[in-house]
Amino acid sequence: MEFTANTTYYQQLQNQIRNCDDKEIIIKELYGQRYIGCATSDKNFKLYGTAGNGLGQYNNGSTIEVFGNCQEAVGDTMNSGEIIIHGNCGDACGYGMRGGKIFIQGDVGYRAGIHMKAYMDKFPVLIVGGKAGSFLGEYLAGGLIAILGNGAQGKMPCSYFCGTGMHGGKIILRCDEKPEGLPEQVLVNEMNEEDRAELTPYIEDYCKYFGGNVKEILSNRFYVLTPNPNSGYNQLYTFE
Amino acid sequence: MNMLYPQFEVIRNPNRCIKCRACEKQCANEVHGYDENLKIMTCDESKCVNCHRCVAICPTRALKIVKTDHTFKENANWTEKAITEIYRQAETGGVLLSSMGNPEQHPIYWDKILINASQVTNPPIDPLREPMETKTFLGKKPGKIERDEKGNLIDNLPPHIELNMPVMFSAMSYGSISYNAHAALAKAARELGICYNTGEGGLHKDFYEYGANTIVQVASGRFGVHTDYLNAGAAIEIKMGQGAKPGIGGHLPAIKVGADISKTRMIPEKTDAISPAPHHDIYSIEDLRQLVYSLKEATNYKKPVMVKIAAVHNVSAIASGVARSGADIICIDGYRGGTGAAPTRIRDSVGIPIELALAAVDQRLRDEGIRDKVSIVVGGSIRNSSDLMKAILLGADACYIATAALLALGCHLCRTCQTGKCNWGIATQREDLVKRLNPEIGAKRLVNLVTAWNHELEEMMGGMGINSIEALRGNRLMLRGIGLTQKELDILGIKHAGE
Ligand code: SF4
Ligand code: SF4
Ligand code: SF4
């Protein structure tokens, strides 16, 4: 079913979608309406325009493809499914995400991938073609974040406080030199074969969605951030 | 050398002790022992936390725990507590950690507030003879009556929580407390027609059947949060803060994340469960609104959304923001609220008393004309039915109780929940200890407690000559202060006794 959003208020638009049994949902002229795909599990969304806050929040299995940019809290607390963004994405993307995949062709804002976590067969993945803002992957508990650094000219493709409080998962950054100034909770190593093998299928997906050459992308230098087992949360307490 | 002298002495009356060794088996802190050679009971009181488990179990009442009379030179400033805390920190370099609510000697305003009763005119009502209504609905009140073209009433009532009495069990996660403790709370909530709260640890699959009496919590760690969970309960609570540790996140150590908790929280076994201090998708009231409405969207506007905040200095301004965020219910947690573990300094010196916070918030929302947009639920040490009554008269719609509920389950307030060795089977995940708490008996005790409070509420209502709890909400004329300054009376919005 095809909808034209234009100036329809998001609650009305969401009602129309809720009342529609079709698996395929196409929305044209999306002007920042919120919560599209929120808590859905079996839909295929194709969105044209700008997706508002909370796109695919609590997503439980739907595929959401956006031909345009997205605002905040995309894939927040997402459980499974896929979000593909042909554009840039705002802040707090993938917060607390437990499973599913988010692919962003362009840049992502502040606080991306904070407190992502993995569980059993659930493994959250956030792949960003461009750069990321500050606080990337803070409190990371599981899953994989990769920032491919298009437009970063080989410099570190994210801003301050990357990986603060990280205690699980992996952040992969494409940059020519070892990233500096990271918090003590992270260990930095150059990408090894194992990491490359782990990353490859997601880069294949990325190229499938947005074009590009898998081999060429992977031939760049990448650094891998993992939690430092000697730091983190083993803060010493003393009892009353 | 050890500068810390044991706080308690374990006194065993040798004339009564029959050396049955029950105390030895029951003490998870391994205080009691038995010397096979000398055939005597031994004890290492340095490990005793004064939880009374051995005392309660001893068949001959041979045991008692007393505070040691070993003293430092008396000093009103450098108290024993102040000194030993320094020793502890000098020894370990660690952050002082404690559990349960603030035990310090701050004023308890409930005890300085008195309730009115009718005499002669406007006579009291006899609750045995006449029906008293303690049923409570939590949620937004619609601003106006709407009718369709034919003049029929349109049902514009937003979703509500219906409670048989204005009490709920507040958030305690599976992880901080045991499976059996949760089972007891859930069963009791169902029988009483009230709600319990999952806390931030997700909902165990066994407890989905209690959904209608469950509040599911969404905290910064988003543990166990998924669509089925959100739709499982009677309401959803966003936890922004907690009275015992405002501004602080949570940390369930990896060692406590066993198989069952791992499934409920939806994180791998034996990993740390860390709740960041803020929700990192909420940095403003606008962001809060976005989360509130995302939850409404996720549940098709069928569940009220609650927002829980800690009582801090500017609580009324924050509550005003929360009321405008679209939340249906605001929960305020005072600084005496309990916790499974919190840094001692935060627990004891951050936040404000719930009595003052409640009065300030209710007044602010009334002044701004938005009191009906939200219900107010308060917690943070409601100890009995008169605290509850006073809270309602100050403006609360209902109260949250947690410490009182745990006491009903056998907690002895030893304040060492953080060790995970609760001898009463409450704040522990050790199987042998959890078994000690029978969920059926626990539920019965909780039902007894809350039912008794409800009777007492009815008696007080009858005394005031008012037969519905709704009519008492915010009726501060029914309250008087005793021994309070004018400033305190002003904040509480009540007169002094005799006025
Ligand atoms: S810790 Fe509890 S059970 Fe053990 S000796 Fe002390 S009071 Fe008794
Ligand atoms: S439980 Fe009582 S009677 Fe039994 S060994 Fe201990 S102190 Fe003695
Ligand atoms: S729950 Fe258990 S450990 Fe915590 S204070 Fe009560 S008795 Fe002590």
In a mutational test of the pocket of ligand 2, which residue from B10, B17, B26, B30 has the highest number of ligand atoms less than 8 Å from its CB? Answer: B17
Q: ipTM score here?
A: 0.92
Note whether A45 contacts B: Cβ–Cβ < 8 A. no
Q: Can you give the three-state secondary structure of B108-151, one letter per residue?
A: CHHHHEEECCCCCCCCCCCCCCCCCECCEEECCCCCCCCECCCC
d(CA A187, CA A165): 12
Number of H helices, E strands in chain B: 15, 21
| pLDDT tens digits for range B178-193 | 999 999 999 999 999 9
| pLDDT tens digits for range B134-167 | 999 999 998 788 898 998 988 888 999 999 999 9
Evaluate if residue B118 carries a pLDDT over 60.
Answer: yes
Query: Looking at the domain that runs over A2-228, which CATH code has it been given?
Result: 2.160.20.60
Domains of chain B: 8-94 (3.30.70.20), 136-496 (3.20.20.70)
| pLDDT tens digits for range B282-340 | 999 999 999 999 999 999 999 999 999 999 999 999 999 999 999 999 999 999 999 98
Query: How far apart are the CA of B114 and the nearest CA of chain A, in angstroms?
Result: 35
Pocket lined around ligand 3, Cβ cut-off 6 Å: B 51, 99-100, 406, 411-417, 422, 424, 426-427
Across the interface, of A57, A95, A235, the residue whose CB is closest to B280 is A95
Interface test with A, best of B225, B227, B325 (most A CBs within 10 A): B227
pLDDT tens digits for chain A (240 residues)? 999 999 999 999 999 999 999 999 999 999 999 999 999 999 999 999 999 999 999 999 999 999 999 999 999 999 999 999 999 999 999 999 999 999 999 999 999 999 999 998 999 999 999 999 999 999 999 999 999 999 999 999 999 999 998 989 999 999 999 998 898 889 999 999 999 999 999 999 999 999 999 999 999 999 999 998 776 555 555 655
The answer to whether the CB of A172 falls within 8 A of the CB of A223 is yes
Q: Is B485 helix (H, G, I), strand (E, B) or coil?
A: coil
Task: Specify the residue with its C-alpha closest to ligand 2, atom 4.
Answer: B20
**Cβ contact, residue pair B227, A232, below 8 Å:** no
The answer to whether the CB of A126 falls within 8 A of the CB of A94 is yes
First to last CA, chain B: 60
**pTM score of the predicted model:** 0.94
Q: Is the CB of B53 under 6 A from ligand 1?
A: yes
d(CA B28, CA A23): 56
Q: Where are the domains of chain A?
A: 2-228
Note whether B225 contacts A: Cβ–Cβ < 8 A. yes
* Side-chain-facing half-sphere of B75: CA atoms under 13 Å: 10
Element containing residue B486 per DSSP (H, E): helix B486-492
| pLDDT tens digits for range B190-222 | 999 999 999 988 999 999 999 999 999 999 999
Among all bound ligands, the one having the nearest atom to the CA of B413 is: 3
